[in-house]
Amino acid sequence: MTTTIERTGKQLIAHFCGRLDTAAAIQTTEDVKPLLEAEKTEIILDCSQLDYISSSGLRIFLAIRKEAAAKANKVLVKNINNEIRQVFVMTGFISLFEIE
């Protein structure tokens, strides 16, 4: 699992690649810290190369959303595959995030 973050103007884009499972969650939590510290920023979670997300991964997404809301940042989830979409639907995350 790799997570890379790029800044483009007032956007921070996090690119997730691989399986965001319990084993990867510790490193991913460290990797997304710039998203948690950002202010006046649109945060994009690009999941085009994310193959799987576990409950640990969902907690990371929820932490990003919570911190973003506290700082009036917008969070947008992009490019989720059908399997991850089903996880979002089953867990209710589909209504917590703007998904494109």
What's the pLDDT score for residue 91?
A: 96
Low-confidence ranges of the chain (pLDDT < 50): none
Question: How many Cβ atoms sit within 10 Å of the Cβ of residue 82?
Answer: 6
pLDDT at 32: 97
Residue 34 CA to residue 14 CA, distance in Å, equals 10
| pTM score, whole prediction | 0.95
pLDDT (0 to 100) of residue 53 = 97
The domains located in the chain, with CATH, are 2-99 (3.30.750.24)
Average pLDDT over the chain reads 96
